[in-house]
Structure 1
Amino acid sequence: MKKSNLDRRDFIKINSALGLGAATLLSTNPLQAINIFNAKHQQPAILGGQPAMASDWPSWPMWNPETDEKRLLEVMRSGVWSRKNVTIEFENKWAATVGSKRCLAVVNGTNAMNASLANLEVGWGDEVIVTPYSFIASISCVLFNGAIPVFVDIDPDTFQMDATKIEEKITKRTKAIMPVHILGLPCDMDPIMNIAKKHNLVVVEDACQGWLAEYNHQKVGTFGDAGCFSFQNSKNLPIGEGGAIVSDNDAFMDRCYSYHNYGMPYGSMKVEGSSGAVMAGNKLRITEYQAAIGLAQLERLEDQTSKRSENAEYLKSKIATVPGITPYKLYEKVTRASFHLFPFRYNKEAFKGLPRHKFLAAMRAEGIPCSAGYFPLNKMPYLKNAFESKNYKLFYSKKDLNYADYEERNQCPINDVICGEEAIWIPQYVLLGSMSDMNNIYNAIQKIYDNAALLNK
């Protein structure tokens, strides 16, 4: 019999993993035990094998009582809970962090976009160039302001709005472009800004997933007329709920400030000799304790972003070797991504026809959090509902609101394939794990690939 190099410690580890009793351990050929151990680890967990990831992922959101609670408790005990100095401090720090002149904190990213469009006078009769691959808020803000969204298909490699397809969608009614730095991967901003300048369009950046991401060493959210961020609980800078508008345009930011505070006068919006509201506004102020939480989270954002980037690049290099797996690509001028999500494309044909939903189920059984992502925004019933609403019918003609024609003009076939068949996401907190954890993700994918035919029975 061939001598085994297996020592006592390794043998006990194998025995524990296989769930064998001591008597069985002592009577088992060591090489046979290794084979059993390896078989269990090579078999998909969904079929009874050992999961690739047995330990827990980092919890989210993160909160360290020792470092994070002092400021929050000070605010709570002060009794000054509505917007004041702590909110201003957070705004100043966020503006400095992204390299913008000014920042206005608001209740959420959705209303950051609503307010930005409203105060750039985007509204009834206008069209806004949008992406079909995003969260509903990226489009609902257009409808809230009475405009019509016009969808541009995506670049399948980057998941972003395809800048080469924008100009063909521009009409005499086009007023704005809303690039969405979805998943934390920056859009191709140079051609977008060139198109906007050529056609005299405003640009509102949806950077709600783009904290600290950069294009040509410039932070996203600072290219257009306005940049909008979200600090919702799942986001890379979590406050629970919250958002922000950034811009270098003082007049615009003064309007936004008045708008977020009932339309009360502020800065250049002050009217001499008058009192009370100077414009139709809203109430979008955040609280002092939200700002205190944001300041605590901001302290670790840089380090977390760097770690996500390092792990994303490593994981990308590993899974790219698996046939049928195509990781994200970044545009040439992208100098940093924030990775709110780690995306890749899945080709079922390379996996013996294994449907995406079965791949996802197998991944989850391996202990890997993942999902299929978005449903196409241009194919949801909210659009038809808006077109059939009283106000849209009052303002727009029947031709404008012919929904069958609108649907035909706004087909995005590449996005349909990405949403319906290919896209897979891994959430951002996973990228805060160890290098070993990234290897476990790769091992899970490889294991599923190796057993795809068996999984598809």
Structure 2
Amino acid sequence: MEALAIHGGAPVRTKPFPQWPVYGEAEERHLLEVLHSGKWGGIGRVKLPEFEERFAAFHGAAHAVTVVNGTVGITIALMAAGVGPGDEVIMPPYTFIATATSSLLFGAIPVFADVEPDTLLLDPDKIEALITAKTKAIVTVHLGGAPSDMTRLRTIADRHGLTLIEDSAQAVGARWEGKAVGALGDLGTFSFQSSKNINAGEGGIILTNDKKLADKAWSLVNVGRIREGAWYQHEHIGWNLRMTEFQAAVLLGQMSRLDEQMDKRERNGKLLTELLGNIVGIHTIRRDPRITKHAYHLYLFKLDSSVADTVDKNEVIRRLNSEGIPVSYGYVSLNRNEALIREIESRTGERRVQDCPISERACQKEVLWLHQNVLLAEEEDMVDIAKAVRKVMASLGTGSMGRP
């Protein structure tokens, strides 16, 4: 057996993976245009409406509203849809904490429905048992860039009169049955935080095909103004949650290479799935055939149950990292997050600890991540990843943690 790098052997690779972000002349040109214009925010913007129009068109949406970040995007989407303090919002627990805190920001209560074991996406079968008179919305998460089952979720939302919101923070450009995410539900939100597939350091956007929802969201983001009103005409209560011209300039540059990057991630993601598929001890994540474009913000794979039950996931990560493969741990299941549990208790007067065993097991024992920049490497780099995974899995044997 080949010695592991962690035990003094030669690592599979020392070559670095591509750095993120990627930027170039397009970002520089747009930024200088904004700088020299003197119009960096407020009225008279140029880059921001151009970006909103281009991003909406890319996703087949009629309306777009930019915001300061993706968290606020979900908050504003919920508020625009009429969700209020004390209302309940069903969402998956296998997601970034902002999916939950976005509702808590104005007093709505997250309720966690478990995920599917083979996709890690919100399980439609787990939703209806959680619907109460207080339920007003479903927030689904297109995890890692894989669209949720929007067909079934739309049916459930319509049957119960619920707003359906897509947390598309990781899914720029992803498509379900040929249609882009973000406008498949009532509203969709995206993040442009620094790790995202297009980024401006921070920032977010809300998409919708409903003009009333778009106008309400725009007003909430623009201090309660209305689109055709005067600067000091505040018809609603709102806040200044606007994106700057500089962020829009960077994002226009980022969009100039998005199609090419998406194609490369898609090719490498499919190749990596093929390469990992025959390694004992590893399971790849099932891709629903109705996903016609995967954004691959994350590439996720799972340890087999026989491995996960005998080997500490952190040890697998340490061994793979030593081989030059930057896998990471991933989320802590939100239904078990004590900060969220305490905050929900302070709002409801009861301690709610919901069981989501599939999400909990995925977080604690099974799921490993590779970030999107890894998939911007070359085919031979995907071969290296598979070689390292095979080497590490072989080293685990029957689960012994001793030196091979």
TM norm structure 2: 0.95
Contact 2:309 2:365 in 1 (8 A): no
Map of 2:341 onto structure 1: 384
- Of 258, 265, 270 in structure 1, the residue corresponding to residue 226 of structure 2 is 265
CA apart distance, 1:424? 0.4
Residue aligning to 1:402: 350
State the match for 2:132 in structure 1.
171
Match of 2:5 among 36, 41, 45: 45
1:248 counterpart letter in structure 2: N
Secondary structure of the structure 2 residue equivalent to 1:178: strand
Highest relative contact order (Cα 8 Å, sep 6+), 1 or 2? 2
SS of 1:326's equivalent in the other structure is strand
Query: Contact between 2:222 and 2:238, CA under 8 Å: does it hold in 1?
Result: yes
Preserved CA contact (<8 Å) 2:272 2:386: yes
1:96 counterpart residue number: 57
- Per-residue Cα deviation, 1:320-339 (whole angstroms, up to 9, x for no partner): 11111011112231111101
Residue in structure 2 matched with residue 359 of structure 1 by the alignment:
316
Aligned to 1:59: 19
Unaligned runs of 5+ in 1: 1-38, 393-399
Shift of 1:77: 2.0
Does the 8 Å CA contact 2:89/2:109 hold for their aligned counterparts? yes
Distance 1:426 1:117 in 2: 31
Q: Specify the alignment match of 2:262 in structure 1.
A: 305
Please state how far the C-alpha of 1:352 moved relative to its aligned partner: 9.8
Contact 1:308–1:339 (Cα < 8 Å) also in 2: yes
The residue correspondences of 1:46-445 to structure 2 (distance < 5 A) are: 46-64=6-24, 66-83=25-42, 84-267=45-228, 276-347=233-304, 349-350=306-307, 353-389=310-346, 392=347, 400-403=348-351, 406-407=352-353, 410-445=354-389
CA–CA distance in 1 between the matches of 2:305 and 2:117? 16
Consecutive unaligned residues in structure 2, runs of 5 or more: none
Decide which structure has the larger Cα Rg and report it: 1
| Letter of the 2:186 counterpart | D
Taking the aligned partners of 2:282 and 2:202, their CA distance within structure 1 comes to 35
Structure 1 position 456 matched with structure 2 position 404: no
Alignment partners' CA distance in 1, 2:26 and 2:205: 24
Richer in helix (by share): 1
Distance of 1:118 and 1:352 partners within structure 2: 43
1: distance between equivalents of 2:202 and 2:308?
40
Q: Distance in 1 between matches of 2:305 and 2:210?
A: 48
Letter of the aligned partner of 1:212 in structure 2? G
Cα offsets for 1:413-451 (capped at 9, x unmatched): 111110110010011100000000000000001111222
Which 10-residue stretch deviates more, 108-117 or 275-284?
275-284
Query: CA offsets per residue over residues 229-269 of structure 1, 9 Å max, x none?
Result: 001100001111010001111111111111111111224xx
Question: Which whole-Å CA distance do the structure 2 matches of 1:351 and 1:128 have between them?
Answer: 32
Task: For residue 450 of structure 1, give the secondary structure of its aligned residue in structure 2.
Answer: helix
1:80 deviation in Å? 1.3
Root-mean-square deviation (CA, aligned residues, Å) is: 1.8
One-letter amino acid of the structure 1 residue matched with residue 304 of structure 2: N
CA offsets, 1:47-69, max 9 Å, x none? Answer: 122211221111100112x3431
Aligned length: 399
Give the letter for the 1:364 counterpart. N
